[in-house]
Amino acid sequence: MKKHNYSAGPCVLPQEVFQEASKAVIDFNGIGMSILEISHRSKEFIAVMDEACDLALELLNLKDKGYKAMFLQGGASLQFLMVPYNLLKEGGKAAYVNTGAWSGKAMKEAKLLGEVQEIASSKQANFNYIPKGYVVPSDVDYVHLTSNNTIFGTQIKEFPKTSVPMVCDMSSDIFSRVIDFTQFDLIYAGAQKNLGPAGATLVVIKEDLIGQSGRTIPAFLDYKTHLEAESMYNTPPVYAVYVSLLNLRHMKKLGGVAAMQKRNEEKAALLYNEIDRNPLFEGTAAVEDRSPMNATFLLKDESLKETFDKMVKEANISGINGHRSVGGYRASMYNALSIESVQALVDCMVALEKKIK
Ligand SMILES: *Cc1c(COP(=O)(O)O)cnc(C)c1O
């Protein structure tokens, strides 16, 4: 039986996407060959890449606005390095907002290439909130943010107003909510959370940002290389891009990002209401900063853990253990998770309360 999959990433994708993706492994579009055995330079695959890049821009409402989309490799983690290589000038400075483990890793790479100013941080509170009211200095080459903090269950609701280029790691909430994406100059996301399989990374960049750092950049790390080669500088992760395309089409069919947001808000309301109502549980993130994608919560009485874990398992729920740096539970409710799956978890929470009464 299909599990209620709360995995933080790689994670649930729509069942329809899996079905279509599995067909292409045997025979891609009726061409008598598998998607896995055709050249990435075949017209069939070039069409896949073109449509995936195009649809990504369309769903973010960034078409014909000076942006380009690329599918790269190395995960979001390689973007931690590619961003400063391409945007941080020799002797320049970059501003980072430190909202979790991933922001920290991004800062670490940037420090290899220049001065990093941590302009805000919630580290002292184990990242359980999003810092606000900070000012982005005007003399930095860019400011870097992490829109959703996958491990700590927080999400930036309002982005700073600034004239410096804004870079955002959206790995765990891209395509989940409508925001004005034109406020960003560079967006990146590892595919494996809301887009597709692991192995592809979506990068959306404002074209006029390229070639500004004045550095000699290794070819593979240079956005220009990949942009000019239309994401085909070397063999791309063909299957990851193809399955991402299927999911992009699926999201469009369901009504695009606005429809995703509506579903995500319903799911988040259902679970967070139960976390707040049920006297046995408590959320770990500041209420106003809670992420609809990753809900982090604890059992107030740890001795109930074994009982609750057993109930969850019997309800066919998988993947809700919290990250080791927070403990407790983390329910990742990415786009493809159904409201029925959320209800199954809520039912377990209600049942635990009844059981121990
Ligand atoms: C998962 C995640 C990453 C790391 O992604 P990789 O593709 O594994 O490198 C980076 N940032 C955020 C916000 C994430 O959730």
3-state secondary structure 82-111: HHHHHHCCCCCEEEEEECCHHHHHHHHHHH
Bridge-based pairing of strands 186-190 and 166-169 is parallel
Query: Which of 7, 79, 102 maximizes ligand 1 atoms within 8 Å of its Cβ, making it the mutation to test the pocket?
Result: 102
The pLDDT assigned to 357 comes to 84
Rounded Cα gap, residues 193 and 295, in angstroms: 14
DSSP symbol at 296: E
Distance from the CA of 9 to the center of ligand 1, in angstroms? 9
Torsions phi, psi for 318 (to 5 deg): -130, 145
Cis peptide bond prior to 10, omega within 30° of 0: yes
Q: Which atom, in ligand 1's list, is nearest to the CA of 74?
A: 9
Q: Which amino acid does the sequence have at 299?
A: L
The catalytic residues are 102, 169, 193
The pLDDT assigned to 212 comes to 85
Rounded Cα gap, residues 314 and 337, in angstroms: 19
Low-confidence ranges of the chain (pLDDT < 70): none
Six-digit token pair at 261? Answer: 């947001």
The pLDDT assigned to 34 comes to 98
Ligand 1 atom 1: the closest Cα is on which residue? 171
Rounded Cα gap, residues 130 and 181, in angstroms: 20
Q: Which atom, in ligand 1's list, is nearest to the CA of 149?
A: 13
Number of Cβ within 10 Å of residue 36's Cβ equals 12
The pLDDT assigned to 211 comes to 87
The pLDDT assigned to 332 comes to 98
The per-residue b/e assignment along 37-48, b for 16 or more CB within 10 angstroms, e otherwise, is ebebeeeebeeb
The SS3 of residue 123 is: helix
The SS3 of residue 189 is: strand
User: Which residue, chain included where needed, has tokens 């961003």?
Assistant: 83
Cβ atoms of 186 and 206 within 8 Å: the answer is yes
Give the list of residues 6+ apart from residue 146 with CB closer than 8 angstroms, or none: 97, 99, 100, 102, 103, 106, 156, 168, 169
